[in-house]
Amino acid sequence: MKQATSRIHIAILGSGKGSNAHAIINAAKTNDVAYEVSVIITTRPDSGIAEVGRGQGIPVEVLSADTAENGDQITRIADDYSIELLVLSGFMRMLPTSVIQHLHGQVINIHPALLPAYGGKGMYGRKVHQAVLNAGETVTGVTIHWVTEEYDAGAIIVQETIDILGLRTAEEIEGRVKSVEHSLYPRVINEMALRLEESKN
């Protein structure tokens, strides 16, 4: 990774197990990167991603169960922590347009397939891998993309193809895809943080 002179504040928003969050945080702690994880935002206080944040000493903010309030909550949190890049990781809800606009479009997501294939509402996690398996695909992949007002429809930032020939279960596919996600996401976040930092100078 390129060396950083200062760090961009990022927030990770999710509700799952938090394995990508852990990889992103770990990269920030073990490498000279251009970002720091300032806050974890989650929909459930008992989620895996919340436990990851607490275990790493990172503040955890829990959104209200009333989804109508989430937009205002996320923008407030973003301002409180001076967030410049919002990173989605296992966030299962549609992100309010107000948040995307407030962060000037600096919101990204990771999807466990080669979009536009196997994307859209309801396509997340192991459901994606099962669909890939059912279709008899021999390759799948990872997509990192900009977040818009439509599920998985934002411009693609990067994709990486993964060979799954011979894998027989959705769990096996998930494991192979996760291993790629855990290296790709921190690297892309760092590259974006470097560009954000350079744009200030």
Q: Which two tokens stand for residue 186?
A: 């921190």
Active site residue 111: yes
Tell me, rounded to whole angstroms, the distance of Cα 117 from its chain centroid: 18
> For residue 104, with 0-12 CB atoms within 10 Å meaning exposed, 13-18 middle and 19 or more buried, which class applies?
exposed
Among all chains, which residue has been given the structure tokens 């922590």? Answer: 81
Distance CA 133, CA 37 (A): 34
Show the tokens assigned to 126: 């192991």
What are 108's strand-pairing partners? 87, 146
Residue of 22, 111, 129, 145 with catalytic role: 111
Catalytic (active-site) positions: 111
